[in-house]
Amino acid sequence: MKSTQKIAMRRIGEMNNKGQLAGLPIAIISLVVTIIVFVLGLVIVQELRDTQAVGTEAYTAANSSLTGLGDFADFVPIIVIAIAAGVVVAIVLGSFAFRQRAR
């Protein structure tokens, strides 16, 4: 291989290593914003439920919504683990990408 081709391949490898983690800040910010909106939604629905008389249709609907949001909250740790696993995989693949074999 010519030296210019080797330099070009090395540059491509460097760009790919940097590019694999480029989406990480976006994923983290999206996760934080989603959790904040989720918590605010829980607080709002709980306040709506607490202002209604027990047994009314509005109370039942707000309570059902609160229960559903509470069930969804169980998946937040799984989502965080999936994002962390994606970061680890990106780092591992990035460390091995375009690595030249020793001859």
pLDDT tens digits along 7-55: 655 555 555 555 556 667 787 888 889 889 988 988 999 998 889 899 8
Task: Say how many residues make up the chain.
Answer: 103
Question: pTM for the full model?
Answer: 0.59
Spatial contact of 64 and 43, defined as CB atoms under 8 Å apart: no
One-letter amino acid at 29 equals I
Query: How many C-beta neighbours within 10 Å does residue 27 have?
Result: 13
Selected residue with higher pLDDT from 56 and 76: 56
Residues 6+ apart with CB under 8 A from 69: 38, 41, 42, 45
Radius of gyration of the chain (CA): 24
For the segment 6-18, what is each residue's pLDDT rounded down to a tens digit? 665 555 555 555 5
